[in-house]
Amino acid sequence: MDSKKIRKSFSRLAAWLGISICSLIVKVIPSGCLYAFAENIAKLAYVFARKHKNVALNSLRVAFGKEKSDRELEKIARNCFIYMAKSAVELMFFFDKPYALKDRAKLEGKENLDRALERGRGVILVSAHFGNFPLLLGRMAVEGYKVGGIMKPMHDARMEKIFFEKREKFGVKTIYSQPRNVCVNNTIGALRDNELIFIPIDQNFGTGGIFVDFFGEKAATATGPVILAQRTKAALIPCFIIRQQDDRHKIVFEKELELVEGQDHRDTVQVNIQNLTRIIESYIRKYPAEWGWIHRRWKSRPAHSK
Protein backbone atom coordinates (compact mmCIF):
# COMPACT_ATOMS: atom_id res chain seq x y z
CA MET A 1 0.00 0.00 0.00
CA ASP A 2 1.48 3.37 -1.02
CA SER A 3 1.75 6.37 1.30
CA LYS A 4 -1.28 8.11 -0.21
CA LYS A 5 -3.52 5.10 0.47
CA ILE A 6 -2.14 4.83 3.99
CA ARG A 7 -2.96 8.49 4.67
CA LYS A 8 -6.48 8.03 3.31
CA SER A 9 -7.04 4.92 5.41
CA PHE A 10 -5.78 6.68 8.51
CA SER A 11 -7.94 9.73 7.77
CA ARG A 12 -11.07 7.59 7.37
CA LEU A 13 -10.32 5.66 10.54
CA ALA A 14 -9.83 8.93 12.42
CA ALA A 15 -13.12 10.27 11.05
CA TRP A 16 -14.98 7.12 12.09
CA LEU A 17 -13.47 7.22 15.58
CA GLY A 18 -14.26 10.93 15.84
CA ILE A 19 -17.90 10.43 14.88
CA SER A 20 -18.25 7.47 17.25
CA ILE A 21 -16.74 9.39 20.18
CA CYS A 22 -18.77 12.53 19.45
CA SER A 23 -21.95 10.44 19.23
CA LEU A 24 -21.29 9.08 22.71
CA ILE A 25 -20.51 12.55 24.10
CA VAL A 26 -23.70 14.03 22.61
CA LYS A 27 -25.75 11.36 24.40
CA VAL A 28 -24.42 12.32 27.84
CA ILE A 29 -23.88 16.08 27.83
CA PRO A 30 -26.80 18.43 28.63
CA SER A 31 -28.68 19.61 25.51
CA GLY A 32 -27.85 23.22 26.44
CA CYS A 33 -24.14 22.45 25.95
CA LEU A 34 -24.49 20.93 22.46
CA TYR A 35 -23.68 24.06 20.50
CA ALA A 36 -20.76 25.11 22.71
CA PHE A 37 -19.35 21.61 22.19
CA ALA A 38 -19.83 22.00 18.42
CA GLU A 39 -18.10 25.38 18.33
CA ASN A 40 -15.07 23.95 20.11
CA ILE A 41 -14.89 21.11 17.59
CA ALA A 42 -15.13 23.67 14.76
CA LYS A 43 -12.28 25.77 16.18
CA LEU A 44 -10.05 22.71 16.32
CA ALA A 45 -11.04 21.65 12.79
CA TYR A 46 -10.33 25.12 11.42
CA VAL A 47 -6.79 24.92 12.82
CA PHE A 48 -5.92 21.32 11.98
CA ALA A 49 -7.97 20.59 8.82
CA ARG A 50 -5.78 22.90 6.78
CA LYS A 51 -6.53 21.25 3.43
CA HIS A 52 -10.29 21.77 3.88
CA LYS A 53 -9.72 25.29 5.21
CA ASN A 54 -7.67 26.21 2.13
CA VAL A 55 -10.29 24.72 -0.21
CA ALA A 56 -12.97 26.79 1.55
CA LEU A 57 -10.98 30.02 1.29
CA ASN A 58 -10.13 29.39 -2.37
CA SER A 59 -13.78 28.65 -3.17
CA LEU A 60 -14.85 31.83 -1.39
CA ARG A 61 -12.36 33.85 -3.43
CA VAL A 62 -13.86 32.47 -6.64
CA ALA A 63 -17.38 33.40 -5.52
CA PHE A 64 -16.83 36.64 -3.61
CA GLY A 65 -13.23 37.71 -4.29
CA LYS A 66 -14.31 40.85 -6.14
CA GLU A 67 -17.01 41.73 -3.60
CA LYS A 68 -15.62 40.96 -0.13
CA SER A 69 -12.38 41.56 1.74
CA ASP A 70 -10.06 38.79 2.94
CA ARG A 71 -11.29 39.40 6.48
CA GLU A 72 -14.90 38.92 5.38
CA LEU A 73 -14.02 35.72 3.54
CA GLU A 74 -12.16 34.41 6.59
CA LYS A 75 -15.20 35.09 8.77
CA ILE A 76 -17.50 33.20 6.37
CA ALA A 77 -15.08 30.25 6.31
CA ARG A 78 -14.92 30.11 10.12
CA ASN A 79 -18.70 30.29 10.39
CA CYS A 80 -19.01 27.57 7.74
CA PHE A 81 -16.93 25.24 9.94
CA ILE A 82 -19.05 26.18 12.97
CA TYR A 83 -22.31 25.53 11.13
CA MET A 84 -21.08 22.15 9.86
CA ALA A 85 -20.09 21.14 13.40
CA LYS A 86 -23.43 22.29 14.77
CA SER A 87 -25.22 20.30 12.07
CA ALA A 88 -23.25 17.17 12.94
CA VAL A 89 -24.04 17.30 16.67
CA GLU A 90 -27.69 18.13 15.93
CA LEU A 91 -28.02 15.02 13.80
CA MET A 92 -26.47 12.84 16.49
CA PHE A 93 -28.82 14.35 19.06
CA PHE A 94 -32.05 14.24 17.04
CA PHE A 95 -31.49 10.77 15.55
CA ASP A 96 -32.60 9.44 18.94
CA LYS A 97 -35.31 12.09 19.45
CA PRO A 98 -36.88 12.56 15.98
CA TYR A 99 -40.18 14.00 17.20
CA ALA A 100 -38.34 16.85 18.92
CA LEU A 101 -37.67 18.14 15.39
CA LYS A 102 -41.17 19.60 15.11
CA ASP A 103 -40.21 22.26 17.60
CA ARG A 104 -36.74 22.84 16.15
CA ALA A 105 -37.57 23.29 12.46
CA LYS A 106 -40.55 25.27 11.23
CA LEU A 107 -41.99 24.95 7.72
CA GLU A 108 -42.56 27.89 5.40
CA GLY A 109 -44.27 27.54 2.03
CA LYS A 110 -45.69 24.11 2.91
CA GLU A 111 -48.74 24.96 0.81
CA ASN A 112 -46.51 24.93 -2.30
CA LEU A 113 -45.47 21.38 -1.47
CA ASP A 114 -48.97 20.10 -0.68
CA ARG A 115 -50.44 21.67 -3.80
CA ALA A 116 -47.90 19.84 -5.95
CA LEU A 117 -48.50 16.53 -4.17
CA GLU A 118 -52.22 16.75 -4.91
CA ARG A 119 -51.41 15.93 -8.54
CA GLY A 120 -50.11 12.53 -7.43
CA ARG A 121 -46.90 12.57 -9.45
CA GLY A 122 -44.39 13.17 -6.69
CA VAL A 123 -42.15 16.11 -5.96
CA ILE A 124 -38.47 16.61 -6.68
CA LEU A 125 -37.02 18.78 -3.93
CA VAL A 126 -34.11 20.54 -5.61
CA SER A 127 -31.55 21.89 -3.20
CA ALA A 128 -27.89 22.01 -2.22
CA HIS A 129 -25.47 20.94 0.49
CA PHE A 130 -26.81 23.93 2.32
CA GLY A 131 -27.63 24.19 5.99
CA ASN A 132 -28.44 21.02 7.89
CA PHE A 133 -30.09 19.39 4.88
CA PRO A 134 -30.22 15.87 6.43
CA LEU A 135 -32.27 17.44 9.22
CA LEU A 136 -34.64 18.79 6.55
CA LEU A 137 -35.29 15.24 5.36
CA GLY A 138 -35.84 14.01 8.90
CA ARG A 139 -38.23 16.85 9.62
CA MET A 140 -40.34 16.00 6.57
CA ALA A 141 -40.45 12.32 7.56
CA VAL A 142 -41.60 13.29 11.06
CA GLU A 143 -44.30 15.46 9.46
CA GLY A 144 -45.65 12.32 7.79
CA TYR A 145 -44.33 12.74 4.26
CA LYS A 146 -42.79 9.82 2.38
CA VAL A 147 -39.34 11.19 1.66
CA GLY A 148 -36.07 9.97 0.24
CA GLY A 149 -32.82 11.42 -0.94
CA ILE A 150 -30.33 10.58 -3.67
CA MET A 151 -27.05 10.01 -1.84
CA LYS A 152 -23.49 9.37 -2.90
CA PRO A 153 -22.18 6.62 -0.59
CA MET A 154 -19.28 7.59 1.66
CA HIS A 155 -15.86 6.16 0.85
CA ASP A 156 -15.64 4.62 4.31
CA ALA A 157 -18.10 1.73 4.64
CA ARG A 158 -18.19 2.07 8.45
CA MET A 159 -19.25 5.70 8.24
CA GLU A 160 -21.81 4.89 5.55
CA LYS A 161 -23.32 2.15 7.70
CA ILE A 162 -23.73 4.56 10.63
CA PHE A 163 -25.52 7.20 8.57
CA PHE A 164 -27.61 4.71 6.58
CA GLU A 165 -28.96 3.25 9.82
CA LYS A 166 -29.66 6.72 11.19
CA ARG A 167 -31.58 7.70 8.04
CA GLU A 168 -33.58 4.49 8.28
CA LYS A 169 -34.40 5.28 11.90
CA PHE A 170 -35.60 8.74 10.84
CA GLY A 171 -37.80 7.18 8.15
CA VAL A 172 -35.80 8.63 5.26
CA LYS A 173 -35.32 6.40 2.21
CA THR A 174 -31.78 6.19 0.81
CA ILE A 175 -31.40 6.04 -2.97
CA TYR A 176 -27.75 5.58 -3.88
CA SER A 177 -26.50 7.52 -6.91
CA GLN A 178 -24.72 4.44 -8.27
CA PRO A 179 -25.33 2.19 -10.15
CA ARG A 180 -26.96 4.87 -12.28
CA ASN A 181 -29.71 2.70 -13.81
CA VAL A 182 -30.74 1.44 -10.37
CA CYS A 183 -30.79 4.99 -9.05
CA VAL A 184 -32.98 6.18 -11.93
CA ASN A 185 -35.41 3.28 -11.60
CA ASN A 186 -35.73 3.67 -7.82
CA THR A 187 -36.25 7.41 -8.14
CA ILE A 188 -38.92 7.07 -10.82
CA GLY A 189 -40.67 4.42 -8.72
CA ALA A 190 -40.67 6.70 -5.67
CA LEU A 191 -42.06 9.64 -7.66
CA ARG A 192 -44.80 7.47 -9.14
CA ASP A 193 -45.70 6.57 -5.54
CA ASN A 194 -46.11 10.32 -4.94
CA GLU A 195 -43.07 10.61 -2.69
CA LEU A 196 -40.66 13.49 -2.08
CA ILE A 197 -37.18 12.99 -3.50
CA PHE A 198 -34.40 15.35 -2.42
CA ILE A 199 -31.74 16.03 -5.07
CA PRO A 200 -28.85 18.44 -4.43
CA ILE A 201 -27.26 19.81 -7.61
CA ASP A 202 -24.54 22.04 -6.18
CA GLN A 203 -21.48 19.77 -6.41
CA ASN A 204 -19.01 19.29 -9.23
CA PHE A 205 -20.45 16.72 -11.65
CA GLY A 206 -17.40 16.19 -13.83
CA THR A 207 -18.00 15.25 -17.45
CA GLY A 208 -21.46 13.78 -16.85
CA GLY A 209 -23.41 17.01 -16.53
CA ILE A 210 -23.65 20.39 -18.19
CA PHE A 211 -21.86 23.67 -17.47
CA VAL A 212 -23.91 26.52 -16.10
CA ASP A 213 -23.02 29.88 -14.57
CA PHE A 214 -22.46 29.77 -10.81
CA PHE A 215 -21.07 32.92 -9.20
CA GLY A 216 -19.88 34.06 -12.63
CA GLU A 217 -17.89 30.88 -13.34
CA LYS A 218 -18.82 27.80 -15.33
CA ALA A 219 -19.65 24.86 -13.05
CA ALA A 220 -20.30 21.24 -14.08
CA THR A 221 -23.81 20.46 -12.84
CA ALA A 222 -26.08 17.41 -12.66
CA THR A 223 -29.10 17.39 -14.99
CA GLY A 224 -31.14 14.74 -13.17
CA PRO A 225 -33.94 16.87 -11.67
CA VAL A 226 -35.01 18.35 -15.00
CA ILE A 227 -34.76 15.08 -16.93
CA LEU A 228 -36.71 13.24 -14.21
CA ALA A 229 -39.36 15.97 -14.16
CA GLN A 230 -39.76 15.70 -17.93
CA ARG A 231 -40.09 11.94 -17.73
CA THR A 232 -42.44 11.66 -14.73
CA LYS A 233 -44.23 15.05 -14.72
CA ALA A 234 -43.17 15.40 -11.07
CA ALA A 235 -43.08 18.92 -9.66
CA LEU A 236 -39.77 20.72 -9.21
CA ILE A 237 -39.69 22.64 -5.92
CA PRO A 238 -36.54 24.36 -4.66
CA CYS A 239 -36.19 24.01 -0.89
CA PHE A 240 -33.68 25.12 1.74
CA ILE A 241 -33.12 24.84 5.49
CA ILE A 242 -31.82 27.98 7.19
CA ARG A 243 -30.32 28.21 10.67
CA GLN A 244 -31.81 30.92 12.85
CA GLN A 245 -30.00 32.99 15.48
CA ASP A 246 -31.27 30.73 18.28
CA ASP A 247 -30.09 27.62 16.35
CA ARG A 248 -33.60 26.60 15.43
CA HIS A 249 -34.28 26.17 11.72
CA LYS A 250 -36.62 27.41 9.03
CA ILE A 251 -37.37 25.15 6.06
CA VAL A 252 -38.48 27.09 2.98
CA PHE A 253 -40.37 25.57 0.05
CA GLU A 254 -40.29 27.86 -2.95
CA LYS A 255 -43.05 27.94 -5.53
CA GLU A 256 -42.94 25.15 -8.09
CA LEU A 257 -40.53 25.86 -10.92
CA GLU A 258 -42.35 25.66 -14.24
CA LEU A 259 -40.15 24.10 -16.92
CA VAL A 260 -39.14 26.48 -19.69
CA GLU A 261 -39.09 24.97 -23.17
CA GLY A 262 -35.85 25.53 -25.06
CA GLN A 263 -35.01 25.20 -28.73
CA ASP A 264 -34.36 21.48 -28.29
CA HIS A 265 -34.03 18.89 -25.52
CA ARG A 266 -30.49 19.89 -24.55
CA ASP A 267 -31.37 23.56 -24.53
CA THR A 268 -34.41 22.86 -22.34
CA VAL A 269 -32.23 21.04 -19.81
CA GLN A 270 -29.60 23.80 -19.95
CA VAL A 271 -32.06 26.62 -19.37
CA ASN A 272 -33.85 24.96 -16.48
CA ILE A 273 -30.73 23.74 -14.68
CA GLN A 274 -29.40 27.28 -14.98
CA ASN A 275 -32.61 28.62 -13.44
CA LEU A 276 -32.37 26.18 -10.54
CA THR A 277 -28.68 27.00 -10.05
CA ARG A 278 -29.52 30.69 -9.98
CA ILE A 279 -31.98 30.08 -7.12
CA ILE A 280 -29.34 28.10 -5.21
CA GLU A 281 -26.81 30.90 -5.72
CA SER A 282 -29.31 33.47 -4.42
CA TYR A 283 -29.65 31.55 -1.13
CA ILE A 284 -25.88 31.15 -0.79
CA ARG A 285 -25.40 34.88 -1.36
CA LYS A 286 -27.94 35.63 1.36
CA TYR A 287 -26.63 33.01 3.83
CA PRO A 288 -23.03 32.33 2.72
CA ALA A 289 -21.90 30.40 5.83
CA GLU A 290 -24.66 27.83 5.25
CA TRP A 291 -23.02 26.36 2.15
CA GLY A 292 -20.28 23.71 2.10
CA TRP A 293 -17.33 25.73 0.82
CA ILE A 294 -14.92 22.84 1.47
CA HIS A 295 -16.04 21.29 -1.83
CA ARG A 296 -14.10 22.12 -5.05
CA ARG A 297 -17.19 23.19 -6.99
CA TRP A 298 -15.32 24.54 -10.03
CA LYS A 299 -12.80 21.70 -10.33
CA SER A 300 -14.02 20.54 -13.77
CA ARG A 301 -13.59 23.03 -16.58
CA PRO A 302 -15.29 23.28 -19.99
CA ALA A 303 -13.17 21.82 -22.79
CA HIS A 304 -12.64 25.19 -24.50
CA SER A 305 -11.24 26.76 -21.30
CA LYS A 306 -8.35 24.28 -20.96
Q: Say what the pLDDT of residue 157 is.
A: 79
Write phi, then psi, for 244 (nearest 5 degrees): -95, 170
Strand-pairing partners, residue 198, are: 125, 149
Write phi, then psi, for 31 (nearest 5 degrees): -60, -30
> Quick check: helix, strand or coil at residue 191?
helix
**8 A C-beta contact, residue 127 and residue 280:** yes
Q: What is the bridge-based pairing of β-strands 147-151 and 210-214?
A: unpaired
How far is the C-alpha of 154 from the C-alpha of 160, rounded, in Å?
A: 5
**8 A C-beta contact, residue 22 and residue 264:** no
The residue among 233, 235, 221, 252 whose CA lies nearest residue 124 is 235
Contact residues for 266 (Cβ-Cβ < 8 A; gap 6+) = 210
Q: Say what the pLDDT of residue 170 is.
A: 82
> Quick check: helix, strand or coil at residue 133?
helix
How far is the C-alpha of 51 from the C-alpha of 162, rounded, in Å?
A: 25
How far is the C-alpha of 294 from the C-alpha of 53, rounded, in Å?
A: 7
The residue among 270, 128, 131 whose CA lies nearest residue 204 is 128
Kindly report the number of other CB atoms within 10 A of residue 54's CB atom: 12
How far is the C-alpha of 49 from the C-alpha of 43, rounded, in Å?
A: 10
Residue 276, Cβ density class (10 Å: 0-12 exposed, 13-18 middle, ≥19 buried): buried
Q: What are the mean pLDDT values of the chain's consecutive 10-residue runs (306 residues total)?
A: 54 54 69 87 91 96 96 98 93 84 95 98 98 95 96 78 81 92 96 98 91 97 96 98 97 97 94 98 98 96 73
Q: Say what the pLDDT of residue 159 is.
A: 73
Q: Say what the pLDDT of residue 24 is.
A: 67
How far is the C-alpha of 293 from the C-alpha of 57, rounded, in Å?
A: 8
Q: Say what the pLDDT of residue 232 is.
A: 97
Q: Say what the pLDDT of residue 5 is.
A: 57
Contact residues for 245 (Cβ-Cβ < 8 A; gap 6+) = none
Q: Say what the pLDDT of residue 174 is.
A: 94
Show the domains of the chain with their CATH numbers: 3-305 (3.40.1130)
Amino acid at 233: K
**8 A C-beta contact, residue 18 and residue 162:** no
How far is the C-alpha of 139 from the C-alpha of 110, rounded, in Å?
A: 12
